[in-house]
């Protein structure tokens, strides 16, 4: 019902996104899970993006040379279907993307899906899949934490230790520096009081939240907003989201965060 209401509002909300950096937030691309974006839908979305937008790497979001509307494609968690279904489509359209990995999900058999019904049973990326995508030059990797726990309950020491371990483990896999991070739960109340300075001290240059919106007037002290793409999104919904017609979602988020 909530999604239906949002789709109705989006019909009448004005398009707002014309300049800045828009970061798309995906999770699973899979034909067999109800809450996963279907490969055919993902293909149609990426075709539209490739034909209409400049797609940049996450590490380039602070570039002073960016003009107009720029897109970043990101995936959270590190599901194997990112390799099986999303990666071939990204290669087809030569689109760069970033995948945020939960390191214990990848290497220590932690099942992050057992308490999250929409993705129950989805498998993690294999090490060889991560290496292949990284070596392709199209896919960058970042940290999504060690355990996928909500960090608002963490002490600074615990978060520091988990981030350092996650960063090091992923760097060992891809043999590259890992300098971006996405909160496992990215709303303001879920992030705790940790500042960008804290993450910068650990070597992270870009930190993504789930705050809705486009990124403008960026500096290295800014957390980054993203636009979530859902399984129920038609191509029209997708086009409206990246045009800014779903920008009202940030108002709902604001109200939830002050409760």
Digit-coded pLDDT (tens) for 149-169: 999 999 999 999 999 999 999
Under the banding of pLDDT at 50, 70 and 90, the label for residue 1 is low
Largest CA distance in the chain: 48
Structural tokens at position 158: 């615990």
Count of other CB atoms within 10 angstroms of residue 224: 22
Measured CA angle at 62 (ends 100, 179), to 5 deg? 35
| Helix-helix angle 156-174:127-136, to 10 degrees | 70
Digit-coded pLDDT (tens) for 84-130: 999 999 999 999 999 999 999 999 999 999 877 778 889 999 999 99
Average pLDDT (249-258) is 84
Own/partner contacts of 118-123, CB < 8 Å, gap of 24 or more, are 118/33, 118/34, 118/35, 118/36, 119/27, 119/28, 119/33, 119/35, 119/36, 119/77, 119/79, 122/28, 122/30, 122/33, 122/36, 122/79, 122/80, 122/81, 123/79, 123/80
- pTM of model > 0.85: yes
Evaluate whether 18 touches 211 at the Cβ level (below 8 Å). no
Determine how many CB atoms are found less than 10 A away from the CB of residue 176.
12
Q: Which of 39-48, 74-83, 250-259 has the lowest mean pLDDT?
A: 250-259
Over 70: is that where the pLDDT of 259 sits?
Answer: no
Task: Output the pLDDT for position 240.
Answer: 97
Residue-range domains of the chain with CATH:
2-258 (3.20.20.370)
State how far the alpha carbon of 192 is from the alpha carbons of 149, 159, 164, in Å.
12, 11, 18
How is residue 156 written in tokens?
A: 């600074």
Question: For all residues of the chain together, what is the average pLDDT?
Answer: 94
């Amino acid at each position: 019902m909530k999604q239906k209401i949002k789709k109705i509002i989006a019909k009448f909300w004005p398009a707002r996104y014309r300049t800045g950096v828009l970061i798309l937030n995906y999770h699973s691309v899979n034909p067999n899970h109800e809450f996963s974006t279907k490969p055919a839908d993902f293909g149609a979305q990426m075709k539209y993006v490739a034909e209409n937008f400049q797609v940049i790497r996450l590490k380039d979001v602070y570039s002073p040379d960016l003009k107009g509307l720029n897109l970043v494609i990101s995936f959270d968690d590190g599901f194997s279907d990112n390799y099986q279904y999303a990666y071939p489509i990204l290669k087809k359209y030569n689109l760069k993307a970033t995948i945020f990995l939960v390191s214990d999900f990848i290497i220590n058999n932690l099942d992050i899906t057992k308490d999250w019904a929409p993705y129950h049973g989805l498998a993690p990326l294999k090490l060889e899949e991560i290496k292949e995508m990284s070596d392709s030059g199209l896919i960058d990797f970042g940290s999504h934490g060690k355990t996928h726990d909500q960090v608002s309950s963490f002490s600074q020491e615990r978060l520091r230790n988990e981030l350092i371990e996650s960063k090091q483990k992923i760097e060992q896999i891809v043999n590259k520096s890992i300098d971006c991070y996405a909160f496992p739960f990215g709303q303001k109340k879920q992030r705790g009081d940790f500042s960008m300075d804290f993450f910068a001290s650990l070597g992270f240059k870009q930190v993504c939240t789930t705050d809705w919106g486009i990124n403008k007037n960026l500096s290295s002290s800014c957390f980054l907003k993203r636009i979530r793409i859902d399984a129920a999104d038609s191509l029209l919904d997708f086009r409206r989201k990246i045009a800014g017609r779903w920008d009202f979602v940030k108002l709902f988020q604001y109200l939830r965060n002050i409760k």
